[in-house]
Chains A and B, each alone.
Chain A
Amino acid sequence: MELQLGLALPNHNNPSAGNGVGFKSRKDAANKRSFQEAFGNYKIRDELQMMPLLLWSGPPDEEDDDRKGQKKRNSCNNINKNEEEGEELVVGWPPIQSWRKKLLLHGQHPQQGQVGRRVSKFVKVKMEGVGIARKINLSLYNSFETLANSLIHMFATYQKSEKRGVRYTLTYQDKEGDWLIAGDVPWQT
């Protein structure tokens, strides 16, 4: 599942285009509500700070993850039929049974309940204007608040000091390209 998370100030204008790879998939979102439309009722004041986060399922210690992550994102732009979670480009290929596929992708049994095992869900975080991406493990967080706080803290060093004290709103782009406010849908999903 391709998930784009963005940390945005509630006061914004149009998200800047060409903001690194995170926005490439937006060309598919042409028919979807633009960010502006979705959050048009917000007061426009400062420039938008978008930190696109891309869900990238894979081991955290791959050296060439930048390239790989990018490849995966781009290939997902071309998905014509993607029935289920995972990196499937064509339904039915390669011919691997769905439960086995889930096992490979998530490293856990597809039907396993929470038997006290956490599955790592590494997400790449890239902030506009910053060359270095950070990685966080989504499974370590229990709520949007803790995630947002952690992200703010993590990127605090890249921020100019006057940004402190500004409220942030967590937004994300789901696999259909719609921009949604995090928190409307429960954390579990």
Chain B
Amino acid sequence: MSYSSLPEDVLEHVFSFVQSDKDRNVISLVCKSWYEIERWCRRRIFVGNCYAVSPRMAIRRFPEVRSVELKGKPHFADFNLVPEGWGGYVYPWIRAMAGGYPWLEELKLKRMVVTDESLELIAKSLKNFKVLVLSSCEGFSTHGLAAIAADCKNLKELDLWESDVEDPSGNWLSKFPDTCTSLVSLNIACLGSEVSFSALERLVVRCPNLRTLRLNRAVPLEKLAHLLRQAPQLVELGTGTYSADLRPDIFSNLAGAFSGCKELKSLSGFWDVVPAYLPAVYSVCSGLTTLNLSYATIQSPDLIKLVSQCPKLQCLWVLDYIEDSGLEALAATCKDLRELRVFPSEPFGDEPNVSLTEQGLVLVSEGCPKLESVLYFCRRMSNDALVTIAKNRPSMIRFRLCIIDPQTPDYLTLEPLDVGFGAIVQHCKDLRRLSLSGLLTDRVFEYIGTYAKKLEMLSVAFAGESDLGLHHVLSGCDSLRKLEIMDCPFGDKALLANAAKLETMRSLWMSSCSVSFEACKLLGQKMPRLNVEVIDESGPPDSRPELPVKKLYIYRTVTGRRIDMPGFVWNVGEDSALRLS
């Protein structure tokens, strides 16, 4: 029996086991009937750039979707490089989905501008809405959240991960009706002002399936114990402020409450930590797999005491107060560690304030055989250290190193760090994400182009010497999807020579480089399926054509130029001559 004679519902059933987008895309290319069957049974879509496709097109092709994930602004928006008003508005999508996906259950947004109007529309139109994740979003207030709370009868998850929420009223939590018992996950850690504790408590008490609760800083430590006793089933907890007057009754109450939480695997929060209260969590340490201490201003000895009790730790986010000595302890205890992120406590100082060097990272790379994801801020690095790390951990998947002072050379040899990063890409054959820093010549890009065949995302700053650097990357990195560059001497030649490559990528960001406006125009004319957007807040870029463009964002799209560009964004396309006259 040939595959084409299998009945539709059998094929559909088979396809339902295929979850990955990539595989589903491949299925849809087999033949017309498979394309049709597949598109009717796809339940989940991911749109990595909300401007790559229009909501109408997405809904038309996949009419029965239940879960949508969208991303808006480029990643460098996190670091203030994208001006306010650039775009990334979700409202057109919500308006379209209100009609096209009335049974939508999940919406996950990242770096998008969400308005209260959008949230109200979701609450009003999507009757089966269950999951809302707003990651690094902005533009909305607690009024919008109140609408979600009040009208989404089956809400399971509300996650405001690192979003910028205006807080005009504190009382939106009380808008969850008494009949709402479905909450599984609530993350309000980013909220600035107080929420009504009694409303929070009532909510926690009536939601027996609550697994994740991330409180905001305004929730005092004295009240945490009480909350924990109402929800001992919690798997993930974010504390509020972790400081209180030193009183034995508060401590024993807290320690007792924690010891009742037998399922706890993830801890975060810990703002304003008073070290004397840390031992209250010791009873749960043996089961912890994730620990986010990146707001905790505690010193190395206290950190060591804590991590030394967490043998099952898989993911640690911490400030550089941990120092090399703390990382040594981590390496000795946490043999299951997969991900380490070390954030700088004083990134703007001129001198190191802590004893955290490349040694700490080397020790972790030696001691933690499963380490695959690293984000590390430090002030010095050597090629030797990088080579050692690369050889220790060839299974590395994400490696993001930020040496705080731009163009810092190898501190031992004063050479560029080309060889070190070269070793990383050479040994770590599955590397998907890489961020470079330190003194780097074109050579590092030659290594990257030669070896980093699985690399999907590359972040570069203050590196390279010429267009050759950019050319190596664009011509060599077969899997490249996202490339973001700031302050590098890359210009027209490499860009134009690799124009076709850009259509195979999601996006390219270049700021403070040497790309001319002419080249942008040429690129826009040559490549109709790319949006070549020049961002310039000081005026039309063609009025000073002798200057390089300040910011350039290029992305592939099937919908042509976007209609919501602010005045400081110019789309340099085929009709650019008309547009700019």
* Residues of A participating in the B interface, judged by any CB pair closer than 8 Å: 68, 71, 83-84, 86-101, 103-105, 109-113, 115
Contacts and interface: CB of A to CB of B under 8 A. Distances in A.
A99 B347 CA distance: 14
A166 B532 CA distance: 63
A103 B461 contact: no
Contacts of A68: 349-350
B396 interface: no
Contact of B348 (A86, A103, A110): A86
A93 B217 contact: no
A92 B347 contact: no
B20 to A, nearest CB: 29
Contacts of B350: 68, 71
Most buried by B among A68, A71, A90: A90
A98 B80 contact: yes
B511 A92 contact: yes
A89 B349 CA distance: 11
A103 to B, nearest CB: 7
B80 A87 contact: no
A84 B84 CA distance: 12
Given A84-B80, A93-B462, A111-B191, 11 more contacts: A71-B350, A91-B81, A92-B511, A95-B78, A96-B347, A97-B78, A98-B80, A100-B343, A109-B217, A110-B192, A111-B193
A104 B79 CA distance: 14
Contacts of B294: 100
B193 A95 contact: no
A93 B79 contact: yes
Given A95-B461, A111-B190, A90 B79 contact: no
B344 A96 contact: yes
Interface of B: 76, 78-81, 136, 162, 164-165, 167, 190-194, 217-218, 271, 294-295, 343-350, 377, 402, 404, 406, 435, 459, 461-462, 486-487, 511
Given A88-B348, A113-B192, A94 B402 contact: yes
Contact of A92 (B80, B271, B295): B80
Main SS at interface, chain A: loop
A169 to B, nearest CB: 33
A32 B105 CA distance: 57
Contacts of A96: 79, 343-344, 347, 377
Nearest to B78: A97
A95 B217 CA distance: 24
A113 B167 contact: yes
Interface centre among A94, A95, A97, A103 (most CB of B within 10 A): A95
B79 A95 contact: yes
B344 A93 contact: no
A112 B217 contact: yes
A99 B190 contact: yes
Given A86-B348, A113-B193, A115-B194, A97 B162 contact: yes
A97 B191 contact: no
B349 A104 contact: no
Given A87-B348, A99-B162, A111-B167, A92 B191 contact: no
A56 B511 CA distance: 30
A71 B348 CA distance: 11
A94 B217 CA distance: 25
A115 B487 CA distance: 40
Contacts of B190: 99, 111
B164 A99 contact: yes
A90 B404 CA distance: 12
A61 to B, nearest CB: 13
Contacts of A95: 78-79, 402, 435, 459, 461
15 contacts: A68-B350, A86-B348, A91-B79, A92-B76, A92-B79, A92-B80, A92-B81, A95-B79, A96-B79, A97-B79, A99-B190, A104-B348, A112-B217, A113-B167, A113-B192
A76 B136 CA distance: 29
A100 B295 CA distance: 9
A124 to B, nearest CB: 16
Contact of B377 (A94, A103, A112): A94
B56 to A, nearest CB: 33
Given A92-B511, A94-B347, A94-B404, A103 B80 contact: no
Contact of A94 (B81, B136, B344, B487): B344
A109 B80 CA distance: 18
A105 B349 CA distance: 11
Given A109-B271, A112-B218, A91 B192 contact: no
A99 B78 CA distance: 9
A43 to B, nearest CB: 42
A42 to B, nearest CB: 37
A68 B349 CA distance: 8
B218 to A, nearest CB: 5
B245 to A, nearest CB: 14
A33 to B, nearest CB: 24
A36 B461 CA distance: 44
A100 B78 CA distance: 10
B238 to A, nearest CB: 13
A174 B191 CA distance: 30
Nearest to A110: B192
Nearest to B216: A109
Given A98-B79, A109-B271, A104 B194 contact: no
Contacts of A99: 162, 164, 190
- Which of A71, A90, A96 has the most B CB atoms < 10 Å from its CB? A96
Contacts of A86: 348
A166 to B, nearest CB: 39
B217 A104 contact: no
Contact of A93 (B192, B271, B295, B461): B461
Contacts of B217: 109, 112
A103 B192 contact: no
Contacts of A89: 348
Contact of A111 (B78, B136, B192, B402): B192
B192 A109 contact: yes
Contacts of A113: 167, 192-193
Nearest to A115: B218
Contacts of B165: 111
Contacts of B461: 92-93, 95
A157 B202 CA distance: 59
Given A87-B348, A95-B459, A111 B343 contact: no
